[in-house]
Amino acid sequence: MAFLASTRHQERSGRFVLSGVRFAVSALLLLGGLKLAAQPAATKEYQIKAVFLFNFSQFVEWPTNAFPEAQTPLVIGVLGENPFGTYLEETVRGEAVNKHPLVIQHYRRPEEIKTCHILFVSQSEAGQLNQVFESLKGRNILTVGDAESFAQQGGMIRFITEKNKIHLRINLAAAKAADLTISSKLLRPAEIVAPTEKAGP
């Protein structure tokens, strides 16, 4: 079922809407407050992707050792160029999941990644995805991106934009290898792929 399926989000051409995932009411209110229509198209897309990243924190389970203390922050990282502007920080400001405050970190290189739970891998890193995933092997980090073949190369969740809608392509095997459990609410509407599949652009 489409997310934000109201006519006010679908009736205008050029407006990005989310497809396939029903998220929390808080996310609906947050997205409504971002004034998407007032921003350039590319910015609108990444505003929505910022909301997705926020919601992934609520629909993915990490092993207990990923949070050494009860209030250890849940870190959302961005590797490479930052396509979100300030929207990602604005989206998570003041938010917490299971008492874990959400914080944003930016990394230029994989070696800089220390504590991280969700990592958005920017398009700027598309040429070195294999190296990035190899450096993260064995760590409980949900990798997210929108580069071509992201999921096939070992990324866990890829954003796919088609007809102004954002869909999810999920490499479930990669998530399980990192000891992460993705909610069925994300899995049901998503396209599930394996690393060796050729699922198109």
Q: 164-188, pLDDT tens digit by residue?
A: 899 999 999 999 999 999 999 999 9
Cα-flanking dihedrals φ and ψ of residue 58, to 5°? -100, -15
Q: Are 113 and 107 in contact (CB under 8 A)?
A: yes
89: Cα separation from own chain's centroid: 14
Cα separation, 27 vs 52, in Å, equals 9
User: Over 70: is that where the pLDDT of 37 sits?
Assistant: no
What percent of the chain lies above the pLDDT cut of 90?
Answer: 72
- Enter the pTM of the model: 0.80
User: Over 60: is that where the pLDDT of 199 sits?
Assistant: no
Residue 83 is predicted with a pLDDT of 95
Distances (CA, A) of 104 to 50, 91, 107: 11, 10, 10
Cα-flanking dihedrals φ and ψ of residue 94, to 5°? 80, 0
Residue 36 is predicted with a pLDDT of 39
Residue 14 is predicted with a pLDDT of 38
**Short-list 87, 121, 90, CA closest to 106:** 121
The dihedral built from the CA positions of residue 188, 168, 117 and 103, taken in this order, carries a sign that is negative
pLDDT confidence tier of residue 139, bands split at 50, 70 and 90: very high
DSSP designation for 13: T
pLDDT confidence tier of residue 163, bands split at 50, 70 and 90: confident
Query: What are the structural domains, with CATH classification, of the chain?
Result: 7-192 (3.40.50)
pLDDT mean over 138-143: 97
pLDDT tens digits, residue range 54-84? 999 999 999 999 999 989 999 999 999 999 9
